[in-house]
Amino acid sequence: MNYGDRKYPRNGSEDQFLSTISQSPLYGPVLPDGSGRYTSRAYPFQSPNKNPVAVAENAFTRLNNYFMQGNIFLNVKILDGLDWKTSGGLTYGFTKNYTNKPVINQYMWF
């Protein structure tokens, strides 16, 4: 029997990487007031970017895998040189996928 539990960024690691390297150096990922609120830009004329910290902490996909495999057999000797063999097997697999896409409020740095 196998069980897998995987949690990863909603759009995959490539999207998370691109969001990180395209982040502006003019502001941090959260407001400096200690509130924990996420930022989107430093000035009104800047184009907003996805906040990679906000995405990593809130928007994720969880994948649960269940897998089971088993077999059984029966050998019966009827006469000398005559055997009866019966066998059977079972394979079961199930995947449960959950994607969290919350609305994340973002604020200006200043």
Place 107 in a pLDDT band, splitting at 50, 70 and 90: confident
Q: What is the pLDDT of residues 80-101, one digit of tens each?
A: 999 999 999 999 999 999 888 8
Give the separation between CA 30 and CA 105, rounded to whole angstroms. Answer: 11
Place 10 in a pLDDT band, splitting at 50, 70 and 90: confident
Q: What is the pLDDT of residues 37-80, one digit of tens each?
A: 999 888 888 887 788 888 888 878 889 999 999 999 999 999 99
- Is the per-residue pLDDT at 12 higher than 80? no
Place 15 in a pLDDT band, splitting at 50, 70 and 90: confident
